[in-house]
Amino acid sequence: MSEAQPWTTQRYAVVDVEGNGQRPPDLVELAIVHVVDGIIGEPTAWLVRPDTPILWQARRIHGISNDDVATTQSFDAVRADVLAHLGDAVIVGHNVGIDLDVLRRKLPDLGSLVDHLDLATGLPDGLQPHRAAYDVLVTARLLRALATTVAGLTTWEALCELGGPPRMPAPDDAADRLF
């Protein structure tokens, strides 16, 4: 097992999103600041026009109105810039579950990742997207690519330190978790 590396050997992208208050929320504002060699950089922020209006509850929290975003670009117009800022950095956030949920819906889906990372090359004939065998194979290849290339994980222990993969519930409580 290799020695633990200092946290400063990683490049981090600290992210935060503000939403429109809808369910699920749509992106209104996104900011990213890099932490490289332990040094915090300057933040980059994008104000974007959501697909649906900003609800009053969200305006009350973040102060961004529909008028504020009426003449801004859609997310599609800034997508490439956002992806470039995220790059291969470790993503960090104070409410990262919600932040990543919003970004996942705006950024590449499985199909885009399959194309970008060339994950479908060499699959058996007859497999197609949105069929179970195809989806599990490309998802497994995505896991391998992310774990070894992006996160630099080389051991099971390193994966477990990140929280590890989800496990199937024990047989006695499995029925409670199915629905």
Give the integer Cα–Cα distance in Å for 24 and 98. 10
The overall longest dimension of the chain from CA atoms, in Å, is: 56
Q: Domain boundaries in the chain?
A: 1-107, 108-179
| Overall fold of domain 1-107 | Nucleotidyltransferase; domain 5 (3.30.420)
8-54 tens-digit pLDDT: 888 888 989 999 999 988 999 999 999 999 899 999 999 999 999 99
113-155 tens-digit pLDDT: 787 778 889 988 998 886 787 877 887 787 777 766 655 666 6
Q: What is the model's pLDDT at position 151?
A: 57
Confidence of residue 168 (pLDDT cuts 50, 70, 90): very low
> Angle at which helices 110-117 and 132-145 pack, to 10 degrees?
60
Give the integer Cα–Cα distance in Å for 64 and 27. 12
Q: What is the model's pLDDT at position 20?
A: 94
Q: Which of 6-15, 42-51, 94-103, 157-166 has the lowest mean pLDDT?
A: 157-166
Give the integer Cα–Cα distance in Å for 83 and 89. 10
Could you give the count of Cα atoms lying within 13 Å of 30 in the half-sphere of its Cβ? 31
More confident residue, 98 or 133: 98
| 39-40 and 44-47 beta bridge pairing | unpaired
Q: What is the model's pLDDT at position 173?
A: 44
